[in-house]
A = this chain, B = another copy of it.
Amino acid sequence: MTRLHNDPAAFADEALEGFVAAHRRWVRPVPGGVVRATAKTPGRVAVVIGGGSGHYPAFSGLVGQGLAHGAAVGNVFASPSAQQIRGVAKAAQAGGGVLLMYGNYAGDVLHFGQAAERLNGEGIPTRTFAVTDDISSAGPDEAHKRRGIAGDLPVFKAASAAAEQGSTLDEVARIAAHANDRTRSFGIAFSGCTLPGADHPLFTVPEGRMAVGLGIHGEPGIGEEPVPTADEAAELLVTTLLKELPDGIGTPHGQRAAVILNGLGSVKYEELFVVYRRVAQLLDEAGVTAVDPEVGELVTSFDMAGISLTLTWLDDTLEALWTAPADTPAYRKGAVPEAAAADEESYEAEEGPEAYTASEESRRAAATALDALRLLKETVDTHADELGRIDAVAGDGDHGIGMQRGSTGAYEAALEACELGAGARSLLTAAGDAWADKGGGTSGALWGIVLRALGDALGDTERPTPASVAHGVLRASDGVRRTGGAEVGDKTMVDVLVPFAETLGQQVDAGAELTAAWDAAATAAERSARDTAHLLPKMGRARPHAEKSLGTPDAGAHSLALIVRAVHGALATCQ
């Protein structure tokens, strides 16, 4: 379990601080993560990687010459926010454009996508690439839905080495796609990790059993078997990977491959070597030459006990990129050219306004919104553990933590905005941006959209009416559906948000008071949250064993239902 921490909520930030303190030769801190400490080469493409904390050396440990130019570092198991990614990309970019790279998880896809949109809007040519190497997370016909695990490394490295050689953004993106097409991983696990501050594991595997294909956040795998011998484990991993060769490779015989035997945290080095002994024999028997094999901990999940095997099938281009030198805190190979240290630049977070303009009526509405955000935050705090447990059934278990960080950040930003005289729109916009930034994950992005939509509907001058509130909720509902791509019945927060928004609108249209309308809508939301439990999830990260979640509500839907009930209290008090 994870034992050493201070305030668990500060864990990821403090870990990043300590990481930087230990690795000043390679990295320097910027808002949102780290960038290389070495001087930029003007005109080069910058490769910016990122993801949640808890996977070291992914992602910050892979920043340095020959590998990434920067890493956006999210909270524990949560995507960095679009704002963080944008901050790191702006600090890392050298005029040649930016390739954002990450593992294929819904929250990351959302935030990196939003960051790319904003960066392109600011004149920095930016593309995105999601690694999809975990073959247990979707079939070959849905390879684009697969999760990214230890295959992150060879794909990041191929793109980064191409960037280092002066390739254009389009070429670097093409290399990333090519490396990803030729990279496959497969893993097994024996136990889950315990997150900082938690008193029990996020997920478990029965004693003496092995979960096949279990995700690094506990996403369900494709089967369960008795713990194998080391040789049996090697045979399972190798034969599974040799069954799914990339297009254009008919037989493994005569092929060359980058090989990574990755430990997830507490399967230790000697055990990995015992397994690798057999992996090497089997590859040899199959006629595959292992090129610069890596046996160690490259993508971890705290102290999770598990291993994965990754093969990247090399052609001449990819072999040159895989064997190119690199010098990062956690990955060093060959000799990189001497490089000057970067000039001391000051990377300041962008500041908000010093004061807001708003009508007195809108300021009163903002005070009500602040009260609602306080109740919301308290509700989330009370239920954070429960939300994490529910999310772990079919997701990565980060919902409780993410919601807690997001709602706390939103409340604090709202409090500051309130003290600076913000109206309802400004307060809710500040709160929404803070939620997306601090909360990370899919839920962070979607809650940011909800609060912004509400704020837009309320404005900074008018007195809110039941109609404008209902209109804002409807816009929030539309925005979440559009951004997340989910519809009612997919077992997401949309199942709750849509009936809530519709009931609220109907009640208000029928002349109900806001509190009464909200009460009726909250009841509809609660009913829907209960109904959700009986559905199969259709959205989000790969869920090959989604049926395991039958009977469990979706965490996002459940938290939304709790929140709309809690917010009712704020409305009742002020009306």
Binding site for B on A (CB under 8 A): 1-6, 11-12, 14-19, 21-22, 25, 53-54, 56-57, 61, 190, 196, 227-231, 233, 261, 265-280, 292-295, 297, 300, 302-303, 305, 307, 332, 335-336
Contacts and interface: CB of A to CB of B under 8 A. Distances in A.
Contacts of A230: 4-6, 14
**Secondary structure type dominating chain A contacts:** mixed
Interface centre among A11, A231, A233, A276, by most B CB within 10 Å?
A276
Contacts of A270: 11-12, 15, 19, 53-54, 56, 196, 302
A272 to B, nearest CB: 7
Contact of A268 (B2, B227, B267): B2
A18 B274 contact: yes
Given A4-B267, A303-B266, A335-B335, A272 B231 contact: no
Nearest to A10: B274
A292 B5 CA distance: 24
B277 A18 contact: yes
12 contacts: A3-B190, A3-B305, A5-B271, A12-B270, A14-B274, A15-B274, A25-B292, A56-B268, A196-B270, A265-B266, A268-B303, A269-B300
A275 B56 contact: no
Contacts of A295: 18-19, 22
A188 B322 CA distance: 39
Given A14-B230, A269-B57, A6 B300 contact: no
Given A268-B303, A280-B21, A293-B22, A4 B233 contact: yes
Contacts of A294: 22
A295 B61 CA distance: 12
B300 A3 contact: no
A2 B190 CA distance: 10
A274 B22 contact: no
Nearest to A294: B22
A272 B3 contact: no
Given A4-B275, A196-B270, 20 more contacts: A2-B268, A3-B227, A3-B305, A4-B267, A4-B274, A15-B269, A15-B273, A15-B274, A16-B273, A17-B277, A18-B272, A18-B276, A18-B295, A21-B280, A22-B276, A22-B294, A22-B295, A54-B270, A56-B268, A56-B270
A306 to B, nearest CB: 10
B332 A332 contact: yes
Contacts of A278: 18
A480 to B, nearest CB: 31
Contacts of A11: 270, 274
8 nearest A-B pairs in the assembled complex, by CB-CB distance:
A18-B277, A18-B273, A56-B269, A335-B335, A15-B270, A21-B280, A18-B276, A266-B266
Contact of A19 (B2, B5, B12, B273): B273
A280 B2 CA distance: 21
